[in-house]
Structure 1
Amino acid sequence: MFPEDSASEEPSVRMGEDTEIGTAVGYNLRSWKCLKLLALNADGVLFTPTALQGPAGLHLRTYHSRDVVGVRRLRRTGVQVLLLSDEDDPVFNTLAEREKCSLRQNCKDKLSELDSHRQELGLSWSEVGYVGHDESDVECMRRVGVSACADNSDSLVQRIARFISNYAGAKGALREFTDQVVELNKMGPKLDTEVEGLIR
């Protein structure tokens, strides 16, 4: 069952093995800042990595509607969303345009693409989050303020993620994380004070 938009219960999520032990809520709040940009690997996080090849070269991918709703909730709260992909797939263009997300395809160096976009927006790394899926995401995940992944992501990705969803990629993992981003962003300046109280 997916968490409801209005749910107040704390999520039962896991932390990667290589991350610092956080608080009882399941992820490391010590370094959490109000996120203003969320970047993610379009392959495996928003869309299933499996592609269907139809007649006349028709290319199909699937995604979960709840994940897209999560992206919309972020956009409504002022968080920018950047989709990154190793490939060049027209399917990504359609969704990115409809949901008003930035898109960088055929990325040979995701960290450089993310850094360039971050600087264009005038953001610090602590204001950037990243949801990864494969080894090509590792450097980005290590650089940003908060990193996350699905429970079927690459083992290395899971070891360094600060938030590991209970759901698979393209099957609700992104929505579970974006719900937490929306709620924690609402706390704003109060967060640092409350975290200090939790970790004393």
Structure 2
Amino acid sequence: MNRAAIIVAGGSGTRMGTQTPKQFLCIRGMPILVRTLSVFLECLPQSPLVLVLPREQKDTWQQLASAHFEADQLGRIHLCEGGTSRTASVNAGLQRLQGLVAEAHRCLVAIHDGVRPLVTPQMIRQSFEVAASEGAAVCTVPLKASIRKRTAGGKTQAVKRDDFLEVQTPQTFRLSAILQAYQQRAQEHFTDDASLFEAAGGEIAVCEGSYENIKITTPEDLAIAAIILEKRMHDSAARLPQPKMVIIDVDGTLTDGGMYVSSSGEQIRKFHTRDTLALHRLVSRYHLPFGLVSAGTHAALLEVLSRQLGISHVYAGTLPKVTIIQQWLDELNLGWQQIAYLGDDLNDLPVFSRVGCAACPADAATQVRQAARVVLSRKGGAGCIREFLEEVLGYDLLRT
């Protein structure tokens, strides 16, 4: 069956205590909604995504979209105006999706909250697999807290916790079936799509959610999400082999990728002081072989930088990066799996496929982010190298 997704993002910033809608707030330097969409774009590389937003948030979305997504990704994200309730917004998204697919009965659709950015590709894939066999799948987790039920007269009554599950998204259905359910019950109030589907006569199967898949609605949720993201990055880093050499691309990582040209035609690059300090301390304290490799032509600039920082291997030119790095490895008697590499663009992909650790900045090209083992929270030229060295590779650059 074909697959698609509807991302519903109609929240405000009221409970956050801010005028910025919560889906546009940042966690570790990236907007919540961008994080959510990025997971679905990665998991559904050929599928349409319908993004449901209030009309007044369209301009904000357009600004974020151009800054964070490639043209091919934006071509798969179809904007849809939301309604006055979640039910109305999902219904609008379903109608929009129906116009994008040829056969609704041959399509599965995952409906997901835009402010659940910590969903994983594994959860999304599992929800599609269960929905394909059972007709509808809802991600759930067991309750951890004790609960009580309100009764008449303002009293409460204890209930057995084991009889209940906490419901999350994604919630995945056959598109034709959920369309029919919404046609029957769209005027009623439901807090989630599974409840509406069940009220219309459908049956629900459950699949495993995650306690990390939180819905971000309060400032406390933002703080928790940031901790989870940091833990995920550290867990990934803990599984990495300790590198024997670190190599970094220049444009788009050490710099922001911009090119500044003086009136005399001189090209100028901008470096972040956090990054250059981190490089200097890495080389001077750990005595680790370090390389800068660039497909550009600013060799003289890199020579100056390498002398100032004590960098042992530098190349700027038109030869393939793989060729240059192989020469360095032969010289040092090292293998590709002993290398940690940071790059941001398509010409870094041949290196990514060989090294033990491949990382990229937050604003790297789409294909590079998909191929990287670690995607950093900082952009190129904005401290991503220091993040790579300290938080991913674990070097203590602050000790005296």
Q: How far 1:57 sits from its partner (Å)?
A: 2.6
**Separation (CA, whole Å) in 2 of partners of 1:154 and 1:26:** 24
Alignment match of 1:85 (pick from 288, 294, 312): 294
Structural RMSD (CA): 2.6
Alpha-carbon spacing, 1:140–1:100, altered in 2? closer, same or farther (3 Å): same
Q: Deviations over 1:150-180 (max 9, x none)?
A: 0000011100111111110010111101113
Q: What is aligned with 1:50?
A: 258
**Separation (CA, whole Å) in 2 of partners of 1:167 and 1:51:** 19
Q: What is aligned with 2:305?
A: 95
Q: Which stretch shows the higher mean deviation, 52-61 or 157-166?
A: 52-61
Q: How far 1:118 sits from its partner (Å)?
A: 1.2
Alpha-carbon spacing, 1:151–1:181, altered in 2? closer, same or farther (3 Å): closer
- Structure 2 alignment gaps of length 5 or more: 1-27, 30-34, 44-121, 123-230
**Residue correspondences, number:** 170
Q: How far 1:53 sits from its partner (Å)?
A: 1.1
TM-score, normalised to structure 2's length? 0.39
Q: What is aligned with 1:133?
A: 344
**Separation (CA, whole Å) in 2 of partners of 1:47 and 1:94:** 15
| Structure of larger gyration radius | 2
**Separation (CA, whole Å) in 2 of partners of 1:148 and 1:60:** 26
- Judge conservation of contact 1:35–1:79 (CA < 8 Å) in 2: no
Percentage of identical aligned residues: 24
Classify the secondary structure of the residue corresponding to 1:83: strand
Alignment pair present for 1:115 and 2:331: no
- Judge conservation of contact 1:74–1:80 (CA < 8 Å) in 2: no
Q: Which stretch shows the higher mean deviation, 128-137 or 106-115?
A: 106-115
Mapping 1:1-200, distance limit 5 Å: 24=232, 25-27=234-236, 29-30=238-239, 32-75=240-283, 76-89=285-298, 90-101=300-311, 102-180=313-391, 183=394
- Structure 1 alignment gaps of length 5 or more: 1-11, 186-200
- Judge conservation of contact 2:389–2:395 (CA < 8 Å) in 1: no
Q: How far 1:38 sits from its partner (Å)?
A: 0.9
Q: How far 1:81 sits from its partner (Å)?
A: 1.4
> Highest relative contact order (Cα 8 Å, sep 6+), 1 or 2?
1
- Runs of 4+ deviating beyond 3 Å: none
